[in-house]
């Protein structure tokens, strides 16, 4: 099996969020970056499990600058076989998806994995775009994935439940919690990762169809009103009359 996992980087979950240049740029000063949890914990691990069971290769691809090599090495340490970094600034989902589709089109991949979303911009867009660009089926928010020959059975979350789909042939899947269990890279993996191939290719030219022009912070909550635990009638009154939510 040839498996491709799209990996992205995202600020570490407790990173302080601030902006510069008149609130037009994210301030990356002092921010630690991590592999996007959905890509690392679920997509990548499930791809490795499938390879372990069926043979084949797991390739990871990232669109980004050279500083991303750290997180790419981590994916190799967890167990991917090889990596490609497409050298460019991933300004938008559209740009990123074009790069990935262009890279994957002649790769003969059986399954292309993405995470359900990146936890910074919460886009949830790249997977569907790659699928459309390659004219492949797309199963989003998959919580389980099993492969038998050229058919795959995928469980995906839908509002208030889930559904089980059967897909024939290659497809794109976005991974959500449940698809696999997080793996921590061990010493041997980290050593081996240093010797695995990390290819760098140049990005193709793509127009930005959407871009961020301004950031702002949400309105601050006024400070908390503490309620006497003996007086729940008072809380209910406030919820009705002051907050107007009941």
Ligand X SMILES: Nc1ncnc2c1ncn2[C@@H]1O[C@H](COP(=O)(O)O)[C@@H](O)[C@H]1O
Residue 96 touches which of another protein, ligand X, ligand FAD, none (Cβ within 5-8 Å per kind): ligand X
Q: Which of residues 152-211 bind another protein (CB under 8 A)?
A: 153, 156-169, 171, 177-178, 207-211
d(Cα 39, Cα 156) in Å, to the nearest integer? Answer: 16
Q: Rounded to the nearest whole angstrom, what is the least distance from the CB of residue 37 to ligand FAD in the complex?
A: 5
Total binding residues for ligand FAD by CB under 6 A? 2
Q: Rounded to the nearest whole angstrom, what is the least distance from the CB of residue 13 to ligand FAD in the complex?
A: 4
First-to-last C-alpha distance (Å) of the chain: 54
Site string for ligand FAD, 2-31 (x = CB under 6 A): -----------x------------------
- State how far the alpha carbon of 101 is from the alpha carbons of 11, 159, 172, in Å: 25, 29, 11
Tokens of 69: 């090599």
d(Cα 131, Cα 137) in Å, to the nearest integer? Answer: 6
3-class SS of residue 193: helix
The strand pair at 198-202 and 151-158 is best described as unpaired
Q: Rounded to the nearest whole angstrom, what is the least distance from the CB of residue 34 to ligand FAD in the complex?
A: 8
Total binding residues for another protein by CB under 8 A? 80
Kindly list the residues in this chain that would bind ligand FAD in the complex (CB under 6 A). Answer: 13, 37
């Amino acid at each position: 099996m040839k498996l491709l996992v799209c990996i992205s980087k995202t600020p570490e979950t407790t990173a302080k969020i601030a902006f510069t240049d008149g609130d037009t740029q994210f301030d990356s000063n002092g921010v630690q970056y991590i592999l996007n949890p959905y890509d690392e914990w679920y997509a990548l691990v499930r791809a490795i499990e499938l390879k372990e069971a069926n043979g084949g290769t797991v390739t990871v691809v990232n669109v980004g600058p050279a500083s991303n090599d750290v997180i790419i090495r981590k994916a190799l340490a967890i167990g991917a076989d090889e990596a490609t970094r497409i050298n460019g600034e991933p300004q938008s989902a559209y740009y990123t998806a074009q790069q990935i589709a262009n890279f994957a089109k002649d790769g003969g991949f059986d399954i292309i994995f993405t995470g359900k979303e990146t936890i910074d911009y919460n886009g949830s867009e790249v997977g569907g775009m790659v699928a459309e660009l390659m004219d492949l089926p797309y199963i989003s928010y998959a919580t389980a994935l099993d492969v038998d020959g050229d058919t795959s059975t995928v469980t995906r979350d839908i509002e208030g439940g889930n559904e089980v789909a059967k897909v024939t042939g290659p497809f794109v899947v976005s991974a959500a919690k449940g698809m696999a269990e997080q793996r921590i890279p061990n010493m041997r993996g980290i050593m081996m990762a240093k010797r695995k191939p990390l290819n760098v290719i140049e990005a193709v030219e793509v127009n930005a169809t959407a871009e961020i022009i301004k950031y702002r912070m949400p309105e601050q909550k006024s400070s908390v009103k503490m309620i006497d635990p003996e007086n729940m009638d008072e809380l209910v009154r406030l919820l009705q009359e002051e907050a107007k939510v009941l």
